[in-house]
Structure 1
Amino acid sequence: MSSANPYEMPPEHMLGYDGAAIDAYYSASLTYTRQPLNYHLYTLPRPEALAHKYFVSDDIREELQKRSETIHTTAPPGLGLPEEMQGYHTLVPLEPIGADRRKFGNWYSMVYRATSSTDGSTYILRRVENFRLMNQSAFGAIETWSRLRHPNIVSVHEAFTTRAFNDNSLVVVYDDHPNAQTLYEAHIKPKAPQFQNGRLQAQSNRISERTIWSYVIQIANAIKAVHDAGLAVRLIDPTKILITGRNRVRIGSCGIVDVLMHDLHSDISFMQQDDLTMFGALVFMLCCSNLAAMNNLQKAIDHLGRYYSADLKSVALFLISKGGPHKNIGQLFDMIGSRLLTELDEAQNGVDRLENELMSELENGRLVRLLCKFGFINERPEHNHETRWSETGDRYIVKLFRDYVFHQVDELGRPVVNLTHILTCLNKLDAGTDERIMLVSRDEQSCLVVSYREVKACIESAFSELSRG
């Protein structure tokens, strides 16, 4: 990324004007380039001692801000998208439009993010173009899927047909996981070469065995939940499985095949056996970093045996083996029992890390409540018909304390911007310590020596008076 400061660029550069478009000899219209957020500018640097106590870690904060930014992204004009459709609005395409449209089986498909008019949340809409629903009972499977909630499955909400796109389209609604990647994008899609040691070198897509085991366990867990519900996934493909967090995967596009293939009645046990075969093929694709790994099975087996353990090889071979009445997903868990304990340990460690981050937000909450009380009390123009209410009595002490915390200057008259001083003062105020401080008025004509306990009492008194109305 460029190290240039975007705030020092000329205005036309910031807005992304196309210079050629200004020339009369060019017919192109003005274009506007959307600048990415500079996440490092959202908070000022802070002492490391305070970072883990009062603030969420930078990587988590940045990731959440990126997701929030993604959710509020709007589509460029001129796409001809419907303004509203079955209670969903503000559609944003998430896949290429035009000649590069992707196919879902024999149908062209498109994925959109949209906002629900019911709850204001964003959802993912997968649209299948030119699909004519022949039997309303095809939506029965969607109702069953909508009742299934699992941490490794992208939840299904509803399905409907629409003519909002000027054709007969099938739309299935899923949970939205902003900035998610497919397994194909993360691990199989070829990466651009990078310069290393002065030479342009290809980047390896090989996945660590620990990561592979994590994926296998999570996907197997999802498949077991689906089979226990009397359903079949029917689509286990690296382009349809999402990575929604750090090594967190979810099976996506569930239920849609049940609607598309409703007229082709198949035995559920056969489809569940097919799930296991597709799962085994997925393991080979990930280990070989190749979508066509199953085209040369012996070569794929040799590659897996060369770079991964015998246990992982046994699991992959079991999954692609010939199905039978006794082959089921439960047998897979018998084979990988010890690996489950490792995955459980990692999951619990992850929960502990997030709880520690939440603890820092609890500390923030205490201080925000204090700052809100300051805002209610200080500089209030009038209360109870007293124009100087905030400048008299206990409120005057609160004002002087606010100046002591936020408006200090050094010996040269420069503002003291010290986050440590602010947090220290606010914590002592919240605790109501007996430590005394000297408060001086702005004209230096008044000087008061008070304790944090007394300032806290003044704040509580003034805030209670406001609360009583």
Structure 2
Amino acid sequence: MATSRYPQSDLQNKETLCRNVLIYGHCRYENTGCAFNHDQNRSNSVQNSPGGQSNQSDFPTPGLRNLLERAELTCVRPQREKGSQCRLTVIHPGWAALRGITERKCARWPFKEINIFLPSSQCGCLYSQRSRLYVAIKSLIQCELKANPFIAATPAAAQDGEASSTVFNPATFREFTPSNFELSTGITANGTASDTGLSFDPFTMPNVGQALPATPFNPYADDPTGLAGSSAAYFQHQNAYTAPLQPLQYHLYAPVGPYRDDLLPFQRQIHDFFLPEKLREEMQRKSEALQQVMPNSTLPPLDNYYSLVPLDTSHRKSSSVFGYTTWVYKATSSKSGKTYCLRRLEGFRLTNEQAIRSVKEWRRLNNGSVVTIHDAFTTRAFGDSSLFFVQDYHPLSKTLAEVHFTQPNTTHGTRFNAKNPIAESVLWGYVSQIANALKAIHTLNLAARCLDMSKVIVTDKNRIRLSACSILDVVHFEARRPVQELQQEDLIQFGKLILSLATNTPPNQLTNLKGSMEQMSRVYSKELTDTVLWLLTPAPAGATPKGIEEFIRGIAVHMVATLDASLHEADTMKSELFRELENGRLVRLMAKLGAVNERQEFDGDRAWSENGERYMLKLFRDYVFHQVDANGNPVVDMGHIIRCLNRLDAGSDDRICLTSRDEQTSFVVSYKDLKKQLGNAFGELLKAGKQPTARGFQGSSH
């Protein structure tokens, strides 16, 4: 019998891809006697050729091959079992079904042990070596499969409906790319995106916010929108930002950057000449709230007040404090043009005119911790008998309940919104300000009677004022009680208010005072706890009633600290005011230059602004505002503009060179001469116009 000239083992080696090519990409013994195959394309061509030895039996069934193709493999290794069997183990971290199917079917597949050498560094990063990994699997099966290949369909193959005649080709495998970004791509039953050949394009994702699936909230992830669960972590959150409904309103100046250490003591930044950004924005918001109106409002005008705007943030009616439903409005006075706050008591019927006259006593009160009362009147403009109180309006103010109790119905914070205790220094500030207000009220033989958390407003940072103090005097005028008794109740309400803030407990849930005091003593100092306890403890029968003066003497140290903080704040605001004072001088200079430069005609002379002293002022205007670089590009330097205007206002002896636009005329002149010329030119305009109000401009020319 004729036999092959080559041993059977050599024939197998000719078709086996060299492991050095698999590991290193090349084999140094390729031309010096290595018997294995070094051409990957040849191996693929033999498979795909009609006459090649490789057929469907060289690789497992299409169903198993589909599982291997779609799996994100992390390690492939053969393991010896009993006898001569070797089990092909596929380890996948998240797909237990693939592992079970593969182990079960390969256990019935007899072949001898083969070692596939893979570096340990590649076992955890085979996403970039996917083609090489499947070539190793293919070589293992081609070399060791002798007969009886198992042929069985898998559920994955039945679902995908792939043709069983498809031949395995490692070149068809694409490199790993993060999936689930294009939400319009179909998702297969295995949970991976179908192969559509499309790459990720961030500009082809319309309506992605609506298409994102709902994901559970993760309290440990810094992703409040919950979008991280629907996209791969390889990319940034491209759709977490939502565009504002309208452009930002406070973009007049750029935000202040970090402090620069390389500035010399005499150097300044542009922001040093203006108000701080945060202070300016806060004042802008308050000014906007002050001028806010409601177009097409149905609220009627009241006596001398018009342009009513409701200030209540909640539409729920509440009558727990005064016994009547109350509403708060902002309105403008037709007499003074100022804005006031109107508090309305709905359905109140005035039975005694002396009741409303009691408000006159509150007009004499002038204290920084009490909202000033101006007037009280009744009206039927709302279709009922309503009582209105007119007070000062503090824009963007909030109540203590809104600031410290965002969820009034919840005693304790949730796991996502835990309530932190208020700082003790803040509580001492509240105590000092309320004590100041009660001192002024009790001195006038009055009682506040309304130390409710919803009637104490916060106008600035840690700055509070008592509001609606005179309302109960009018509402309960018939059932009058001694003033001394009402003042003692003020102290008790004062203590309950501070205790509610210290324990984060709403006043309506503050039922166990003893337990609340024990809770407060575990967080705050003994001095603050004893202070609240003194307020809550009524005076013994027959003893001298407690007074607010005695209380102030006990907290004098903290009153001084509050006074010191207010003095520092006043100094800060005064220094900021000085900045704007300098800016006012520059505005007056620019107004003068604008009135003189480019004037069309004056006193019958059409060239008045182009002759004599006015011509140098025109060149100075170009020197300050119209500078260009060597290429003719405009140079906008705010520091240069402010520096030149300051020197002009001071009349400095520094000289500058002024050049005409055609570069044919040049002047060397000092700021002192320019200031004199500007004053003369502007004086001529004032004399010709005969404006008696021009004095304000003349005063700035010194």
* TM-score, normalising length: structure 1: 0.87
Structure number having the greater strand percentage = 1
Change (3 A) 1:87 1:225: same
- CA distance in 1 between counterparts of 2:569 and 2:271 reads 16
The verdict on how the C-alpha distance between 1:427 and 1:383 changes in structure 2, with shifts beyond 3 A counting, is same
In structure 2, what is the Cα distance between the partners aligned to 1:51 and 1:336? 44
- Equivalence for 1:20: none
Summarize deviations over 1:89-126 as a string: whole Å, max 9, x none.
Answer: 0000011575x233343211100000111111110000
Please list every run of 5 or more consecutive structure 1 residues that lacks an aligned counterpart in the other structure: 1-32, 194-198
SS of the residue corresponding to residue 388 of structure 2 reads strand
TM-superposed deviation, 1:151 = 0.3
Query: Residue in 2 aligned with 1:56?
Result: 275
Does residue 633 of structure 2 align to residue 406 of structure 1?
no
2:424 touches 2:524 (CA, 8 Å); kept in 1? yes
1:80 corresponding residue in structure 2? 298
Alignment of 1:107 with 2:331, yes or no, is no
- Tell me what 1:38 maps to: 249
Q: Deviations over 1:106-159 (max 9, x none)?
A: 211100000111111110000001111111111222111112110000110000
Q: Does 1:231 align with 2:446?
A: yes
Match of 1:248 among 463, 477, 480: 463
Moved more, 159-168 or 436-445: 436-445
- Distance across 2 between alignment mates of 1:90 and 1:427: 43
Secondary structure at 1:85 match in 2: coil
How many angstroms does 1:76 deviate by?
5.1
User: 2:308–2:330: 8 Å Cα contact kept in structure 1?
Assistant: yes
Mean alpha-carbon deviation: is it higher for 418-427 or for 289-298?
Answer: 289-298
Larger RCO: 1 or 2 (CA < 8 Å, sep 6+)? 1
Q: Is the 2:614–2:677 contact (alpha carbons within 8 Å) kept by the matching residues of 1?
A: yes
Give the residue type in structure 1 aligned to 2:534: F
TM-score using structure 2 length? 0.59
Question: Following TM superposition, by how much is the alpha carbon of 1:244 offset from its aligned partner in structure 2, in angstroms?
Answer: 0.7
Q: Which residue of structure 2 aligns with residue 137 of structure 1?
A: 354
Structure in which a larger fraction of residues adopt helix: 1
- Identify the residue that residue 18 of structure 1 maps to in structure 2: none
Contact 1:46 1:419 in 2 (8 A): no
1:203-255: CA deviation from partner (whole Å, max 9, x where unpaired):
32421000000000000110110000011001001111011112111001121
Q: Which residue of 2 aligns with 1:161?
A: 378
Looking at structure 1, the residues matched to 343 and 333 of structure 2 have their Cα atoms a distance apart, in angstroms, of 15
SS for the counterpart of 1:295 is: coil
User: Cα 1:46–1:245, aligned 2, differ >3 Å: closer, same or farther?
Assistant: closer
Task: For 1:379, give the aligned amino acid.
Answer: E
Q: Cα RMSD between the aligned structures? A: 2.2
- Quote the residue 1:12 is aligned against: none
- 2:256–2:277 CA contact under 8 A, matched in 1: no
CA shift for structure 1 position 45:
5.8
Give the match for residue 92 of structure 1: 309
Q: Distance in 1 between matches of 2:473 and 2:353?
A: 12
1:285-327 CA-to-partner distances (Å, cap 9, x unmatched) read: 1101111453111221011101111111111111111145331
Which amino acid is 1:81 matched to? L
CA distance in 2, matches of 1:45, 1:404: 28
Q: Go from structure 1 to structure 2 and tell me whether the alpha carbon gap of 1:97 and 1:209 turns closer, same or farther (over 3 Å shift).
A: closer
Aligned match of 2:667 in 448, 455, 464? Answer: 448
Matched with 1:11 is: none
1:154-186 CA-partner distances (Å, limit 9, x unpaired): 110000001111111000000010001111111
Is the partner of 1:201 in helix, strand or coil? Answer: coil
Partner of 1:362: 581
* Structure 2 SS opposite 1:227: helix
SS of residue matched to 1:354: helix
- How far the C-alpha of 1:454 sits from its partner, in A, is 1.4
Contact 1:293–1:300 (CA<8 Å) still a contact in 2? Answer: no
Which residue identity does 2:402 align to in structure 1?
E
The alignment status of 1:188 with 2:398, answered yes or no, reads no
1:74-98 C-alpha deviation (Å, 9 max, x unpaired): 1253x5210x211100000011575
1:179-218 → structure 2 map (5 Å cutoff): 179-190=396-407, 201-218=416-433
Mark the CA change 1:52 to 1:43 in structure 2 (over 3 Å): closer, same or farther.
closer
- Aligned pairs for 1:260-409 (under 5 A) are 260-291=475-506, 292=508, 294-323=510-539, 325-409=544-628
SS of 2:307 mapped into structure 1: strand
**AA matched with 2:253:** T
* 1:138–1:258 Cα contact (<8 Å) kept: yes
Secondary structure of the residue that 1:170 maps to in structure 2?
Answer: strand
Distance 1:202 1:388 in 2: 72
* Amino acid aligned to 2:616: I
Change over 3 Å in CA distance of 1:51–1:255 after alignment to 2: farther
Please give the alpha-carbon distance, in whole angstroms, between the structure 2 residues aligned to 1:286 and 1:45. Answer: 35
The change in CA–CA distance for 1:46 and 1:249 in structure 2 (over 3 A counts) is: closer
Cα distance change on mapping 1:213 and 1:37 into 2, 3 Å: same
Identity of aligned residues (%): 42
CA contact (8 A) 2:627 2:635 kept: yes
Give the distance between the partners of 2:475 and 2:245, measured in 1 at CA.
38
Instruction: Report what 1:25 is aligned to.
Output: none
- Pairwise CA distance, 1:424: 0.8
Question: Alpha carbons of 1:419 and 1:460: their partners in 2 closer, same or farther (altered >3 Å)?
Answer: same
Matched, 1:123 2:329: no
| Matched residue count | 428
